[in-house]
Amino acid sequence: MILVTAIAALVLTGVLTLVVYKTRNQQRHGKGETVRDQAEEDALRLRRQEALADEFDARAHAAQVEIDIKTVRACSLQQQATVHRSEAITSRDQLNELREQADKLTAAARPPGNPRLAG
């Protein structure tokens, strides 16, 4: 009977060891799944954050391109203004020269002693 009790105790110890081992494995597996789920949630959150950063980067780049385009346009307009102003100055000088020539011709064609009428 002692032998049967000893064998029963050994079998019971083996069964308990097996139950404890399986329970721990299930707990580890459950914890592993929990950790894996948390990691997936973190990965999703990270992808959203990266996408948001990419979106803002694209907006900043587009704004910079707009600024560059407007800067080039402003420089072009300034050049055009400079050209037009220079042409206007040249035209003004030519007009003044033409008026001076007209005044000289008129003065030369006037008989002496006939003053020019104001007007």
How far is Cα 27 from Cα 21, in angstroms, rounded to an integer?
10
- Opening angle at CA 65, ends 61 and 67, nearest 5: 115
Q: What tens digit of pLDDT does each residue of 5-20 get? A: 888 888 888 888 888 8
In this prediction, residue 110 has a pLDDT band, given cuts at 50, 70 and 90, of: confident
- Which whole number is the average pLDDT over 46-68? 97
pLDDT at 118 over 60: no
Residues 6+ apart with CB under 8 A from 116: 106, 107, 110
pLDDT at 59: 96
